[in-house]
Chains A and B, each alone.
Chain A
Amino acid sequence: MAVAPQISEAPPLAIARQPTPRPWRRLSVPKTLGVRIGLIVASVLFLAPLYWMANSALKNIDELSAFPPTLYPHAPAFDNFVRAVTYIPFGTFLLNSVILTTGVAIGAAISNPLIAYGFSRIKWPGRDFVFGIVLATIFLPFPVLIVALFDIFAKLHWIDTFLPIIVPAFFGNPFFIFLMRQFFLGLPNEISEQARIDGANEFQVFLRIIMPLAKPAVAVVIIFAAVQAWGEFLTPLLFLQDESKYPLSIGLQFYRQEHDVAYNLLMAASTLIVLPVVALFLAFQRFFIEGITVGAVKG
């Protein structure tokens, strides 16, 4: 896949492979050992919260409240998952989350390639300056806009609909525009020229020539947009007030407050929310890793 500068598996430092003088050799074995220990300890720290979530999700309330905590569930309570999804309107929240995530992902998949194409495959005066503005918006804190956006959406009667969350996705996101643009810049100009000579207009070049080549990059955008929308908290909190409209993020939060949900059920519900993200990551790991490092080497 050509989306990103490859992260090669080859050892990066030639010195590591060189025949080393004597005092070095004695040190080299413990050196990688130390590095490995560091990496393993760090990995455990980074994965511990997820393990603890699953672990707590499977404990009954007595075992969960025990001290010292048990490192694995001694009496796995699988019915926690059943209780978690019946105790809260899980199905409604889930459906809302799925609608929001799908809507945002579709919007991102349509808008960002289109916009990025205009910033990469066509040379127009002022292009780089305008693209600078696109990038600058990355550094604008979104909360600066929330009061005005709420009032605007209220006047449009969009509050308590999914529109304030889904519609903006159809107008592009600076990160995704950047990512798609990097991909388009890497494609040779000749393929567009040939199609233009054959009489294709620019939109046909985009749709028939460039987009088929861009599928991996679009996949990265869809994956990132979906993961982001799935975990989105602030916008549904602001723009959705009716409980029947809540996605999982907000639904779980308010249910916890109002009904004092037991922690094992909270962890069971959290596990169900996290599971699709983990599955997506395991299935498309390469897309995630390459997506995040796009343009990183350019410095």
Chain B
Amino acid sequence: MIAAPRLRRFRLSQDDRRNLRTALPFIAPWVIGFLAFTVYPIVYSLYLSFTHYSGFGDATAAGLDNYQHLIKDPLFWQSLSNTLYYTALAVPIGVVVAIVLALLMNQNVREVAIYRAAFYLPTIIPLFALTFIFIVLLNPGFGLVDYVLGLFHIPAVNWLGDARWTKISIVLLAQLGAGGPALIFLAGLRAVPTELYESALIDGAGPLRRFYKITLPLISPVILFDLIYGTILGIQIFTPAFVLTGGTSGGGAYTAGPENSLLFYVYYLYKNAFQYSDMGYASAMAWVLFVISVVLAVAIMRWSKYWVHYEVT
């Protein structure tokens, strides 16, 4: 009888129950996929993170070994700092580039469809192919980029061979993806009611003031989404680093770019799991990544309360 009040609260009307039965077959694929390919792997890797496991045979209990090893592993810390450094550069720059492109496209230019296409096209080009192109563009011997910089008397940079520049190169590569967010910002800009600008103009507000007081607050929800999503993508950075350093090739085995400057978090996780067959350790890294992503997303959400403006259109 103790359960009675609880039951009542969850009692559904006949309509509700019928609708639930009707909807279930439709959403069943997602529910099954979510349980099988998301929930179960997360739980399973939590278990694996407390074991020693090579991928073959049985996992053996390891207690907190993997986590203790993480704290003492200099490569873990380097991969984490490489990743945060990359994300801290690529994401804010990406937001600014996307907003600038959107603002430019939002001006009264008739051939805007051409620019829209030009900015968007690189976002659908496979990332591995763009990375191959960057190898040619940034080549220290015959690369176009160093040549163009030379025209402006800027000294050549060994983009992919100098540990100080490798991550910058990937930050630049990532900016080719700005076209997608730029289109979303553009849609946001076009939804801003023109009356707001008109009355601001009457009040004598200059263009900068109008931008800060009207445009920016009204597109702030899009900025928030772009920041969080960009950050989540940023901490997963892998493909360009893997393509550039070729996994195992190059003189020094198992180095990820000069001075391991491209050893990003997921790259190191990948190496541990699939090159060193240390699935337990890699699982601990996966779980730490999970926690980092949640912490970053929540932190950005909290911070956004100070600047996101929600009563839009």
Which residues from B are CB-within-8-Å of A95?
none
A122: nearest residue on chain B (CB-CB)?
Answer: B23
B191: nearest residue on chain A (CB-CB)?
Answer: A297
- Neighbour of A114 across the interface among B26, B113, B189, CB < 8 A: B26
Contact-size category for A: 35 or more
Which residues from A are CB-within-8-Å of B248?
257
> Which of B73-81, B137-145, B163-171, B251-259 has 4 or more CB atoms under 8 Å from chain A?
B137-145
- Check A292 for interface membership: any CB of B closer than 8 A: yes
A14-B198, A144-B289 are known contacts. Are A46 and B30 too (CB-CB below 8 A)? no
Alpha-carbon distance between A8 and B190 when the two chains are bound, in angstroms: 8
New A-B contacts (8) at CB < 8 Å, excluding given A122-B19, A231-B127: A16-B108, A32-B107, A32-B109, A69-B147, A134-B34, A151-B44, A202-B26, A299-B218
- Neighbour of B246 across the interface among A152, A237, A256, CB < 8 A: A256
A49-B133, A137-B38, A263-B135 are known contacts. Are A127 and B23 too (CB-CB below 8 A)? yes
- Check A66 for interface membership: any CB of B closer than 8 A: yes
- Neighbour of A289 across the interface among B107, B116, B142, CB < 8 A: B116
Q: Are A139 and B232 in contact (CB under 8 A)?
A: yes
- Neighbour of A39 across the interface among B30, B105, B191, B221, CB < 8 A: B105
Q: Are B132 and A267 in contact (CB under 8 A)?
A: yes
A164: nearest residue on chain B (CB-CB)?
Answer: B37
Which B residues have a C-beta under 8 Å from some C-beta of A? 12, 16, 19-20, 22-27, 29-30, 32-34, 36-38, 40-42, 44-45, 48, 55, 101, 104-109, 112-122, 124-130, 132-137, 139, 141-144, 147, 176, 179-180, 183-184, 186-192, 194, 197-198, 201, 218, 221-222, 228-229, 232, 235-236, 238-239, 242-243, 246-249, 266, 269-270, 273-274, 279, 282-283, 286-287, 289-290, 293, 297, 310, 312-313
Shortest distance between the CB of B283 and any CB in chain A (Å): 5
Alpha-carbon distance between A172 and B33 when the two chains are bound, in angstroms: 8
A35-B104, A292-B183 are known contacts. Are A151 and B55 too (CB-CB below 8 A)? yes
Q: Are A43 and B115 in contact (CB under 8 A)?
A: yes
Which residues from B are CB-within-8-Å of A253?
128, 242-243, 246
Which residues from A are CB-within-8-Å of B239?
233-234
Which residues from B are CB-within-8-Å of A141?
232, 235-236, 266, 289-290, 293
Q: Are A148 and B48 in contact (CB under 8 A)?
A: yes
Alpha-carbon distance between A123 and B313 when the two chains are bound, in angstroms: 26
Which residues from B are CB-within-8-Å of A297?
187-188, 190-191, 313
- Check A96 for interface membership: any CB of B closer than 8 A: no
Shortest distance between the CB of A214 and any CB in chain B (Å): 14
Q: Are A202 and B34 in contact (CB under 8 A)?
A: no
Residue among A140, A149, A151, A258 with the most chain B CB within 10 A?
A: A151
- Check A206 for interface membership: any CB of B closer than 8 A: yes
Alpha-carbon distance between A43 and B48 when the two chains are bound, in angstroms: 48
Majority SS at the chain A contact face: helix
Q: Sorted from nearest, which 4 A-B pairs have the closest CB atoms? A: A171-B33, A118-B26, A231-B126, A148-B41
Q: Are A149 and B27 in contact (CB under 8 A)?
A: no
Which residues from A are CB-within-8-Å of B136?
52-53, 56, 64, 263, 266-267
- Neighbour of B20 across the interface among A11, A125, A258, CB < 8 A: A125
Alpha-carbon distance between A183 and B269 when the two chains are bound, in angstroms: 39
Which residues from A are CB-within-8-Å of B121?
46-47, 50, 278, 281
Shortest distance between the CB of A144 and any CB in chain B (Å): 5
For chain A residues 175-209, which have a beta carbon within 8 Å of chain B? 177, 202-203, 206
Q: Are B119 and A46 in contact (CB under 8 A)?
A: yes
Alpha-carbon distance between A12 and B105 when the two chains are bound, in angstroms: 10
Q: Are A292 and B180 in contact (CB under 8 A)?
A: yes
- Neighbour of A42 across the interface among B42, B104, B128, CB < 8 A: B104
Shortest distance between the CB of A85 and any CB in chain B (Å): 16
- Neighbour of A149 across the interface among B37, B132, B188, B197, CB < 8 A: B37
- Give me 30 A-to-B residue pairs in the complex whose CB atoms sit less than 8 angstroms apart, sorted by A's number: A9-B112, A12-B192, A13-B106, A14-B194, A47-B121, A50-B122, A52-B133, A115-B26, A124-B20, A130-B27, A134-B34, A143-B289, A144-B286, A144-B287, A144-B293, A145-B38, A145-B286, A147-B48, A150-B274, A151-B44, A172-B33, A231-B129, A234-B238, A249-B126, A273-B126, A278-B121, A281-B120, A296-B184, A296-B222, A299-B218
Which residues from A are CB-within-8-Å of B134?
49
Q: Are A65 and B141 in contact (CB under 8 A)?
A: yes
- Check A212 for interface membership: any CB of B closer than 8 A: no
Which residues from B are CB-within-8-Å of A68?
147
Alpha-carbon distance between A46 and B137 when the two chains are bound, in angstroms: 13
A141-B236, A148-B283 are known contacts. Are A134 and B30 too (CB-CB below 8 A)? yes
- Check A270 for interface membership: any CB of B closer than 8 A: yes
For chain A residues 41-83, which have a beta carbon within 8 Å of chain B? 42-43, 46-50, 52-53, 56, 64-69
Which residues from A are CB-within-8-Å of B218?
299
Which residues from A are CB-within-8-Å of B137?
48-49, 52
B134: nearest residue on chain A (CB-CB)?
Answer: A49
- Neighbour of B147 across the interface among A32, A67, A237, A281, CB < 8 A: A67
Alpha-carbon distance between A35 and B218 when the two chains are bound, in angstroms: 22
Residue among A11, A122, A143, A206 with the most chain B CB within 10 A?
A: A143
Shortest distance between the CB of A185 and any CB in chain B (Å): 15
